[in-house]
Amino acid sequence: MILKLPYACCIPLFACLAFVGCNGGGDSSSSATTSSEAPAVLDIIGSEIAFNPVIKFTTATDCTYDNTLALERTFPQPSAGLIQATYTALKSGDTLTVTISSTDSTFGEDLVLVMTGWMDLDNDGLIDQCSIQPTLGDDQPLAQMTAQFTDNPPALPGAVVSTANLPIFAGGDSNRSPTLTEWNNYVVGKQLVFLYTDGNLSSLNLSSSSVYTAQDASGNDLQGTYDYDRVDDTKGRLTIYETKTYTYGQSQTAGTTVITSDRRAIFDLNFYNTDPLYDSFFNKLGGLGIHFYRTTDEETLSTGTTTTKSTAYGSLRVYNDASLLAE
């Protein structure tokens, strides 16, 4: 299948997230399923949550903490980017209280997360989001925020769901690329956030199995089509096409010149999620997420000119609503 990416594929973080909103799976409509019970402590192992920082619970006591995406500066932003940390978790009824600690000097006081309000937005039996009441050390609690499970979500308590054969990012136990059907079920209707290792970021709203919407850095609405193909267990491929029209000149004497362009970009996607990216630009680790490698990016104008961008790579995350990064 074929995906169209905006012409301004890499734009600054603040410009990208200013226009990102709820779409598809990101809405909390009346069809959502809720639970009055929190998941078991052990059920969050392997899960990743994003509520501004991004935290992945790698074992029963260890996690990674990454706050390189967020716009606001309330939460710790370690100079090393992604860091290793430890945590404790305690369940009580509908509440899961997680305390995150780190010896990194730039992390500071413990971060306490009181998690409630468990929601399954698309009724697949997996938790999509919850509410978080964060506290730093012995300070007063911060405003309640929405957290999303962006990788390997736990099952909603009481739900009957078989996840053994699903890809890990969708909440299963199979460390592989999703099939086309799984892509349509667990990615379509959500937002893709591409974090490049040079610090740039782009976002796409997948409004259907073949159409995306977005805005460029100037706030212009964009729409295109896209295609996802599963290459093998280790790789998926996202192919993007875009057609644009440029109009130059508006004088009555000179008239106007209309130039069209066709753009094609190809992204190889690695869903294994085992190794953090190393960001040579900032000399620090990037996030885990789904790794992408842009192998091709060409734009051909109706004048016959073709421009080619260099290869690039980074991390890709799937959000219900990426605007939480700007909260």
Phi and psi angles of residue 181, each rounded to the nearest 5 degrees, phi first: -65, -45
Helix, strand, coil shares, percent, the chain, to 5: 10, 45, 45
Measured distance CA(260)–CA(273) in Å, rounded: 39
> Structure pTM?
0.72
Neighbours of 42 (CB within 10 A): 12
Cβ contacts of 218 within 8 Å, gap of 6 or more: 8
Whether 195 and 203 have beta carbons less than 8 Å apart is answered as: no
Measured distance CA(247)–CA(120) in Å, rounded: 46
Q: Residue 57 is encoded by which pair of tokens?
A: 């619970």
Cross-strand partners of 151: 48
pLDDT by residue for the chain (327 residues), tens only, comes to 333 333 344 444 434 443 333 333 334 445 788 988 999 999 999 888 988 888 999 899 999 998 876 666 788 888 777 889 999 999 999 999 999 999 988 888 999 999 999 999 888 888 999 999 999 987 888 889 899 998 888 999 988 887 778 887 777 777 788 999 999 988 998 888 888 877 787 888 999 999 988 876 677 777 889 999 999 988 899 998 888 887 776 655 556 788 888 889 999 988 765 565 655 544 555 555 678 889 999 999 999 999 999 999 888 878 887 776 655
Whether 154 and 161 have beta carbons less than 8 Å apart is answered as: no
Measured distance CA(215)–CA(194) in Å, rounded: 14
